[in-house]
Chains A and B, each alone.
Chain A
């Protein structure tokens, strides 16, 4: 018995040095990558323009001016990115260039890790035409700390076949007409279980906010440097009531508490369980992957307004890109930024990646229909409050929970008063 134990122990013992070897072996190769040595380190986000072969075109253009400089594009993940970027910029030897989500940009412009680009703003192509949803968060205290990289906004996708079958011959021009169409579609599809004329998850606040903006509402105002959330203003409360009516009229009961991913709204559309949805530019492709038969049946229009003269204002999402204050290569970094935010690359990006260019004037002919509609809609956009607190609300999923509560029939006056208290504190927390 004892011999057996010894054999077992010897076996375990031999494993230890191997592991110890592995430990010492990894001690080498690391230790901080230098960036002042002729390498431009660029942090870009997964799924964005940096994560596609297109980025090579930027590097090629850059190489014409800086043939001796290497560009190292590293792809980062969204989960925990705010902390990641802040700590990296503060950590010494930071990346030269970082991409940020537009709601997270105010956190970085506030923190002080980004280089001031104010003096050179005019040298960026068509910087006067930048979408306000991207340009506003890039600015802090009147100074520019980042450039817009790409935008995104949502449009209504509809199923042409279902519209025809329900006897709808003309696209709705007001939200009232849209609601009537929901009724027609529901009647025509009453044999389809859990059918929605317009499938709208209750947590989808990107759809809810436009109803508030169109009533003249705004999320928050700033006076003498102090923010005050305005959710309980009469305009916003009216907008919330209108949005609730729309959600409850057009969408299923089971959609009140969920977001677009659970259940996947593209699957519902592909399965014919929804005739309309509020979608991002890539979603039509996802629908077609699930149901290729819909190829010729998908159309798009901007979310119609309360009256026929203008569609609802939209929220622009997207990314910005800035230069580390501690970067030793600011000059080349700025040139790299000029290339990626320039018209040539932005057009290529729109055509090949379905991403909205940072200026409506950049949108080239021949983009997919949803992008053309989105680009048009983005001309009337409302920026979110330019405070690091907006990123707080976003990561807390506070807007999602608020709109879901409204959709579920919560008391609008009380819920919006709660919103103001919470959001005001968040907006003023870092000042």
Chain B
């Protein structure tokens, strides 16, 4: 590689340019949302587009945050989302390792069921889930919602993590076992670091899934104290009108936690594997 520094560097420069261009195109709608959020609510539309919000107005954000119970919704959303992410990851991780590393009776049936469950349109499950929770008296009960989200992302999480476990050469585990590690120790020390990128990718997925859901939260939860943030997000649409300014500002605020969650975990997406046990 070091024999041809110039072409390699040139290729990297080309790649960087493409990456920046792709980012710009992808980001434009996001930018448009944020820029719109900072425009005065009467100036959101103009025949000649206003690309930079100037003068900056915080009115939309003020109206969005002035909605009652906002902080209650934030607390509920964080509780429900983080709990379902953590639960589904832990449960899925064990299942994924078992499926990828062992043969056992019923394994294929289990895999097929996982895929089938994933295929059901979510809208059709609202009434059955409601009927179940009603029969056990768990309507309007936060853990009921957590478990619902958890099982909805579980099939995906297991399947994906299984793919990542498959990608780890078994020799590494064997070597660790030979080295005298216990099986559990081996998983923790060898397998887990190698799976980190997969865990990160699936946890963002699980996070977004629970964070964005409106329908289940709205139908299963009855009292206002148990609502989550998506309920706030649609509250700017009334029978008569829509406060687009506040709604777009709310959407901007709503996107932030996903970004924060990503920034907290993202280093594991890139690092961790090549410098981990593969070389070590």
Chain A contacts to B: CB under 8 angstroms: 1-2, 5-6, 8-9, 12, 15-16, 19-20, 22-23, 25-27, 29-33, 45-48, 51, 74-75, 77-80, 83-84, 87-88, 90-92, 95, 101, 152, 261, 263-264, 267, 270-271, 280-283, 286, 289-291, 317, 319
- Assembly CA distance A12 to B265 (angstroms): 10
Residue of A nearest to B193 (CB): A5
Q: Judging by beta carbons under 8 Å apart, are B143 and A26 in contact?
A: yes
Q: Which of A2, A23, A29, A267 contacts B189 (CB 8 A)?
A: A2
Question: Which stretch (B10-18, B23-31, B100-108, B215-223) binds chain A?
Answer: B215-223
Q: Judging by beta carbons under 8 Å apart, are B79 and A23 in contact?
A: yes
Q: Judging by beta carbons under 8 Å apart, are A2 and B277 in contact?
A: yes
Q: Judging by beta carbons under 8 Å apart, are B237 and A286 in contact?
A: no
Question: Which residue of B218, B242, B280 has the most chain A CB atoms within 10 A of its CB atom?
Answer: B218
- Assembly CA distance A32 to B80 (angstroms): 17
- Assembly CA distance A91 to B127 (angstroms): 12
- Assembly CA distance A283 to B68 (angstroms): 25
If A9-B193, A22-B79 touch, whether A30 touches B142 (CB-CB below 8 Å) is yes
Instruction: Name the B residues within 8 Å of A2 (CB-CB).
Output: 189, 277, 280
Q: Judging by beta carbons under 8 Å apart, are A282 and B240 in contact?
A: yes
Q: A5-B192, A48-B238, A75-B68 are in contact. List 19 more A-B contacts (CB 8 A).
A: A1-B276, A2-B277, A19-B87, A22-B78, A26-B79, A30-B225, A31-B141, A32-B137, A32-B139, A51-B238, A77-B218, A77-B231, A78-B234, A79-B234, A80-B214, A80-B215, A87-B130, A264-B45, A319-B239
Q: Which of B41, B126, B225, B277 contacts A83 (CB 8 A)?
A: B126
Instruction: Name the A residues within 8 Å of B146 (CB-CB).
Output: 23, 26
Instruction: Name the A residues within 8 Å of B87 (CB-CB).
Output: 19, 23
Q: Judging by beta carbons under 8 Å apart, are A91 and B241 in contact?
A: no
Check if B279 is an interface residue, CB within 8 A of chain A: yes
Check if B111 is an interface residue, CB within 8 A of chain A: no
- Assembly CA distance A5 to B45 (angstroms): 52
For this complex, 28 residue pairs linking A to B, each with C-beta atoms less than 8 Å apart, are A1-B275, A1-B279, A9-B192, A15-B86, A16-B90, A19-B86, A26-B142, A27-B142, A29-B142, A30-B142, A30-B225, A32-B141, A46-B238, A47-B238, A75-B224, A78-B237, A80-B215, A80-B219, A83-B126, A84-B219, A88-B222, A92-B139, A152-B239, A271-B47, A280-B241, A281-B240, A289-B42, A317-B239
Check if B188 is an interface residue, CB within 8 A of chain A: yes
- Assembly CA distance A67 to B192 (angstroms): 62
Chain B contributes a number of interface residues (CB within 8 A of A) equal to: 58
- Assembly CA distance A264 to B222 (angstroms): 34
Residue of B nearest to A267 (CB): B45
Check if B183 is an interface residue, CB within 8 A of chain A: no
Residue of A nearest to B265 (CB): A12
Q: Judging by beta carbons under 8 Å apart, are B219 and A87 in contact?
A: yes
Q: Judging by beta carbons under 8 Å apart, are A19 and B83 in contact?
A: yes
Instruction: Name the A residues within 8 Å of B188 (CB-CB).
Output: 9
Q: Judging by beta carbons under 8 Å apart, are B240 and A280 in contact?
A: yes
Least CB distance from A159 to B in Å reads 17
Q: Judging by beta carbons under 8 Å apart, are B42 and A290 in contact?
A: yes
Instruction: Name the B residues within 8 Å of A1 (CB-CB).
Output: 275-277, 279-280
Check if B251 is an interface residue, CB within 8 A of chain A: no
Question: Which residue of A12, A26, A280, A286 has the most chain B CB atoms within 10 A of its CB atom?
Answer: A26
Check if B82 is an interface residue, CB within 8 A of chain A: yes
